[in-house]
Structure 1
Amino acid sequence: MLRLACVLVAVTACAGSGPPATRLFAAGAGECPDSSGCGVPVHDEPKFAPSDEAHDPAAPDGAPQPVREATCSDVGISVAALEVGNYASEAERAPVETKFRARCRTTKLDRTERQCVAEASDAVSVAYCAPRFWPQQVLSFVEATECAGIAQQIRDRGTSPQPRVRELWERQLSELQRSCEQDRWTVAFGECARTMQQAMYVPTYCQHVAPSLLFTRLQDRIAKVK
């Protein structure tokens, strides 16, 4: 009992000894002046809500939003930008937009053609989407009977020593041949595909001569090959 009392006395003496605690602020400074407290309230409500244009409130969360269908007005705007440039003044663009909007209606572009033309990035792609809409750009296409020969030329220039890679490449090459037969390869794209050195990367290295829609179709085909 005496030993415990001595320990308590020693602890008390130590606690009271030494210099006073250092204050970060002067007395009275840095302290909450409000008797009700200075805590910051935490709100559970979200800080940001997308606008009605960015999110359809009627659609369930996570549901895919429907793609807006391109109209002849969209076609006119898009093709006019290709012809006179994105930086043309409104006065310069307006008559060109009117011309191509009227041509869209006259040539009776269907939904798929309108979408394709509105998304086209160059004149070749526009002509590929709808030749009758863009007759000034005449495209030549590879005959389906030529595709097996093109595929063989690609095969002769590119392969892999690794069996698994080689098997995958053969499946991709078969898909390239089907694309050639079914997707209307332009002569320019076919020439690039059969002569380029990087034979295993035809879509990527020949993209510069591929109409937008053809390139998209090729990418979709190759992505499905496992």
Structure 2
Amino acid sequence: MQAVLFDLDGTLIDTAADFIRIIQEMCRAEGRAVVDADLIRTQVSEGARAMVKLVYPELEVDDPIFLAHRQRFLDLYGADIAVDTDLFTGMYPLLADLESHHIPWGIVTNKPRGLSEALLKALDLTERCAVLVCPEDVKQTKPDPEPMYLAAKHLKIDEKQIIYVGDHPRDIDAGRNAKMYTILAAYGYLPLQHKDNLAAWQADHIVSNVSELHQVLNKLVGIKQHSVT
């Protein structure tokens, strides 16, 4: 394998704390019951609409009032995008290991480009990331393989020689559809309706923490195991 691609939220970067902070602030501002942090965490990979729906379950997602709340949520998030956000524990040495062995890594995400770029900039990852593919870059988003093909084209590496790591069924489906080697990040924001049968996702490998992911990646790209820290 010659490259590694990651999903963003819940796989490479632990963004949940900032989403939890904002959703709970919205609950308090509206005088509504505060949504449980663990429940919010399970909805992060489903996007802004799913998280805002936790606050306003009575509203239809195409209701102008709901859309206004969703925009307010996105504005609050964009203004303070990395207050409590950081890479998952162990991810810094993992990326450093890949880079030291000239293995490019990148991101394929359904997170809007503006927010994705702001997040990478806040964490000083912009120059280190070899490719960033967002919804605005393609006609079809994950689970369609189009964004995976675009990332591979940018890297100039055959899809079959690329690893994709994600924490949602659409991530694994997108990787499999593109004939990439897929790794399910079971430490991420697993959706409630899919978390009890991870084998059904049909990933090539399942890891329970970043340390395990590091070891698996090192083996797949040919880095000696003693490099893991």
TM-score, normalised with respect to structure 2: 0.23
Q: Which has the higher helix share?
A: 1
Relative to its length, the structure with more strand (as a share) is 2
Larger RCO (CA under 8 A, 6+ residues apart)? 2
